[in-house]
Amino acid sequence: MKIISYNVNGIRAAIKKGFIAWLKAANPDVICIQETKAQPEQLDGALFEEAGYPYQYWFSAQKKGYSGVAIFSKTKPKRVVYGTGIESMDFEGRNLRVDFENLSIMSLYLPSGTNDARLDFKLNYMAEFQEYINALKKEVPNLVVCGDYNICHEEIDIHNPKMKGVSGFLPVERAWIGSFIDSGFIDTFRYFVKEPDHYSWWSYRANARNNNKGWRIDYCMATETLKGRLQRAFILPEAKHSDHCPIGVEVEG
């Protein structure tokens, strides 16, 4: 199964930049989308169906034009779970999960910590999400949590490791994502690729993307139970519909 995750920074804007043609060419079995910034009724679902995705699931934020996640699939999942059931996070539309017979896939959009209030919200979200995942893994052991985590884990994951005072690379954030991995997950990209200079997000400022001054803040995290089924992981920087680029993983069976 080929799984792609993509923060599109507005699905309607991405469509205008050729997202549908790209999706057809990329041809994942499942695509997890973050930051849709749309309600499903604002889009023509036939566009995605014609691209090969008859099963489309959306979990939008209550606030219009903000946040939101979606999952498109070629095959019908046996179950779809909207949100986490945790009221303090679900109003922003940040978690959506589809369960197949022997694999579950989540689209996740962790908050960014752009100011003190949002950083506090992010840290609380991270703590509650970890508790939620710890319980979920007992029910759903084969889980891939794809999405924008808004955190660089190691110095290799950011073009300038001196940026330790900026949200996304704060010691507390890095420690959390390290403990998340230690709780039973594999950072699938780093499992296969050890070299530096691979990023998934670039600022729109200072020609950052052309100069590859980026951050790797998007991940496909797979539970340790899937280790023997991982085939490859990848980043697709040539896709330019957003300030992020798509990432992905292939899982056997």
Catalytically annotated residues: 148
Encode burial over 135-160: b for 16+ CB neighbours within 10 A, e otherwise.
Answer: ebbeebebbbbbbbbbbbbeeebbbe
The DSSP output letter for 172 is H
- Distance, in Å, from the CA atom of 241 to the CA atom of 149, rounded to the nearest integer, reads 19
Q: CB–CB of 241/228 below 8 Å?
A: no
Q: How many residues does the chain have?
A: 253
Tell me how many degrees the CA angle 236-13-89 measures, rounded to the nearest 5.
80
- Distance, in Å, from the CA atom of 131 to the CA atom of 134, rounded to the nearest integer, reads 5
- Distance, in Å, from the CA atom of 92 to the CA atom of 130, rounded to the nearest integer, reads 17
- Amino acid letter at 12? R
Other CB atoms within 10 Å distance of the CB of residue 212: 12
Residue-wise DSSP of 46-111: HHHHHTT--EEEEE--SSTTS--EEEEESS--SEEEES-S-HHHHTT--EEEEE-SS-EEEEEEPP
